[in-house]
Chains A and B, each alone.
Chain A
Amino acid sequence: MKYRKVDQAPLTKTEKIRRRLLKKAKRKYRKFQGIRINPPYFHLSQMKFVLLALPMLIITMLPIIYIISHAFKPLAELYAYPPKIFASRLTLDNFRNLALAASQTGVPFVRYLFNSIVSTSLTIVLSLLIGSLAAYSFSFLKYKFKKPLFALNQLAIMIVPVAIAVPRFIMMSSLGLTNNMLSHIIPLLAMPVGVFLTKQFMDQVPRELYEAAKIDGANNWQIYSKVVLPLVKPALVTVMILAFQASWNNAETSSLYVNDEALKTLPYYFSTLTLGTSAIAAQGMAAVASLIIFVPNIVLFILLQKNVMNTMAYSGIK
């Protein structure tokens, strides 16, 4: 505090007033005992809530910390006794091992990575496109069977891909969607929850905008792409994150529908690592693998969480 004061210019009058008002507001907030939802400032009284959440925070955080430190642990320390959470020395050995192990199966690690990146980005782009188109039709257009279709879609949120794996297997093979890049993408394109969230968000767009654009002679495609899409960015970002998770973490397609090793993706390759050997080196590699899967997920979420929270405000099912 003291250092900053030395080279700080004297406060302007408006600034002084602003600060005084802020102080007053803070004092008023502290005095108010009734409602504490979404408090504007941090206050020591909130500490009890932090403490309440603390055990859960630790439980959720520890494995993540552990996996990060495990990934950088030297081999000798992986199975050291007593076990330590933090490594005493950091190495990239595990990363190197992972890259080398991959090349022994004949398919380089980079190939799995490439497949994952291609299939994930295509899944995101396509599911966003068809999902937002459908959401637009739900929110703005009128057509027969709209209501039952939306109800069906809402119901389908519950039907997780895992629960219909068996018929999907039959569907995939009868459509010839095995052993190619499309097998990674097409089954993931139907994302009921994505359509649902986008539609709910689109419902917040003022109808006047739609009417005005219509009067100005815009057709539906123009309204969709020029008016509505820019306004529902938070929802699109949220769906993007969900699509990313669905595709990037997906090991099932590779193990069921793809025989060609060169067309499989990272999570599959990693799952063979974890399930296969129990050698010490594999432990380190598996940690690196989990890290590689996990980090893009969390980075994406941290960068875009504001959009997600924004979208979730309209996520309610009635």
Chain B
Amino acid sequence: MGKLYDLLLQDIRFEEGLNACMNCGVCTAICPAAEFYKYDPREIVDTIQTKDEEKTEALLKSETIWYCGQCMSCKTRCPRGNTPALVIMALRTLSQKLGYFTDSEKGRQQFAIKRTVGENILKYGYCVPTYAVDPKMHPEQGPIWEHIFNNIDDVMDRLGGNLKKKGSGALREIHQKNLDELDKIFEVTGGYKLYGEIENYSEKKAGEMGLEFKKEGIDNEYFRHVYTCNSDNHGK
């Protein structure tokens, strides 16, 4: 048994996700990501099942493990009670811990996700609040979104939201007590440690790529690179 396989075994999601696969392909058949990406969850599970160290390392450094949308459809279908999505989660975490994620384009995006969504949750108590989805960063949202973003107070008033205010209602301010609780959860469960590892490995990668890196924020070359770079080589 390989060292990497041993590390995966320490992840409870891995233990839960992989019993024994008979390669029926039902997970790939139901998988929305497999319909568009060069992605085959059955193959990933089958590869891991071989416990081959080299192949596992290649997976941890690959684009493949980042295509899963974590919809968990595979869980609902597997006749052997496996959950490929849980195996993928364990692989992703290991890739983050070992720094292998910076070897792939999709993996490097972990840094962008950490600096945006990952920090939003701690700052606001929301992952994707309206005010954090800047149209400049999200042109795909179109002009209506831009209007909403620029007139957020008016729009929220009309829709009956409670933007950044105390009390109940959509997008209300999250009480400091709850934010402190989130902080504690990240501390205890190793979330902060993982964030730190994503930061460190990304900084190292930025150095290797000769790109400017800043300790905070999104105004730096490396962030812009991982956020916008698209080899367009992910689809079928």
Q: Do these two chains interact?
A: no
Interface residues of A (CB under 8 A from B): none
